[in-house]
Amino acid sequence: MDPLFRALRHRDFRLFLACQVVSLAGTWMQGLAQNWLVYRLTDSTLLMGAIGFCQYAPVLLLGPLAGVAADRYSRRKIVIAAQSLFLFQAAALATLTLSGAITIPLIVGLAVFWGAVNAFDIPARQSLYVRMVGPEDLPNAIALNSMTFNAARIVGPSFAGFFVALFGEGVCFAVNAATFAGVIAALWSMRSPETQTAQHDPAWQRLREGFSYAWNHPRVRALLTVSALANLAMAPSNLLGPVFAGRIFERGAPGLGMLTGALGLGAVMGTAFLARRGGNLPGVVLGSTLTNFAGLAAYAAAPTFEIALGAMGVCGFSIFRTLSAVNTLVQTSIEDEYRGRVMSLYSMSVVGMAPFGNLLAGVAADVAGPRATVCGGALLALAAALFWSRRMKQS
């Protein structure tokens, strides 16, 4: 089998990934449509940032508890419950939008609900991979999952841009709701054994043990810091996509879909190369964070839409190589009994940075403008590279 796809020899992972790519495309459709809906209703970067904060803050607040749950209970059943609740949230958003009853407070409420579910979904789902493929194929499975995530990023927003222009945002939400059925069915049909046993020690004690384990593991601590800085750096370009597409380049919703798709295309290329070749993962983290700095700086200064598309491709190539390499290094450095709790901290460093990044980006864009705000993100990416370079010299 081609080394790029070696993790697909495992039946459960193959089934899960096939359904996941469809569901993720729907999720990306919903994300773009929601962003555009808020922008259309309010024309406010500050409100866009506030809603982004509401959507991702629960991951930061509930992440540690979600990690305890992933180490205590069946990870597969947690993911099934989460996917079912995602379906409900998308259906509610579609119904309210198509009926004309949608309002900003309702969007905020549903965004908070989505974030709370996502907080429990991420660590449980990330912890499932080692059960589906085993330790040997885990790095390849993580890279393939990142490829799938970003292939969906190409397809979903590209379709969403045109769907929004032709049919409105509600149709995108309805399509997303339908895509969760396949993932739920795939999860129910899995055969991989789970080894969690009943644990009767207090949740607060296991929570403290998880934090202590990660803090006293120098490599994990440094990797989580790099991940947090890199994701915070990307927040302004993600949040302000509608402003760049609509106000700066005057390309509307289809232009936003193209920018998001360019990011996804670059990410697929970067993670595909990583899945096939592997290599020196600490070096990959350093090189990718530096490349991300260059891509964000070019995007902030782009004089034309075409140059902005190219810069987004560079950002996608670099940020998701960084995240795949960090994820693999973390998962291959930890003991399985702590996997759920450590991966909840990883999810906090990836998704949990979004609320602060979105809020800060919304405020900064109102004060300094969108280009200067994205430039600030580029400087954070450079800080991540310098931090990791120093950590590599010390080890």
- Over residues 279-300, mean pLDDT: 92
pTM: 0.76
pLDDT for residue 94: 95
Say what the pLDDT of residue 147 is: 80
For the segment 265-285, the average pLDDT, to the nearest whole number, is 81
| pLDDT tens track for 94-107 | 999 999 899 999 99
Span 344-356, pLDDT tens digits: 888 888 877 777 7
Average of per-residue pLDDT values in the chain:
85
Residue 293 — pLDDT band, cuts 50, 70, 90? very high
**168-216 pLDDT, tens digit each:** 889 999 999 998 988 888 888 877 666 555 556 666 777 788 778 888 8
Mean predicted confidence (pLDDT) in 368-394? 91
350/93: higher pLDDT:
93
**Per-residue pLDDT band at 306 (split at 50, 70, 90):** very high
Tell which wins on pLDDT, 50 or 308: 308
Q: Of 193-197, 237-241, 264-268, 329-333, which gets the smallest average pLDDT? A: 193-197
| Predicted local confidence at residue 395, as pLDDT | 61
Instruction: For residues 276-290, give the mean pLDDT.
Output: 85
Tens-place pLDDT, residues 110-155:
999 999 999 899 888 888 888 788 777 887 888 888 788 777 767 7
Task: Select the more confidently predicted residue: 74 or 312.
Answer: 312
For 291, half-sphere exposure in the C-beta direction (CA atoms, 13 angstrom radius) is 22
Q: In the structure, what pLDDT confidence band is assigned to residue 273 with cuts at 50, 70 and 90?
A: confident
pLDDT, position 203: 67
Tokens of residue 338, six digits: 């702590």
* pLDDT surpassing 70 at residue 277: no
Domains of the chain in sequence order: 3-189+203-394 (1.20.1250.20)
Asked whether the predicted pLDDT for residue 388 surpasses 90, the reply is: yes
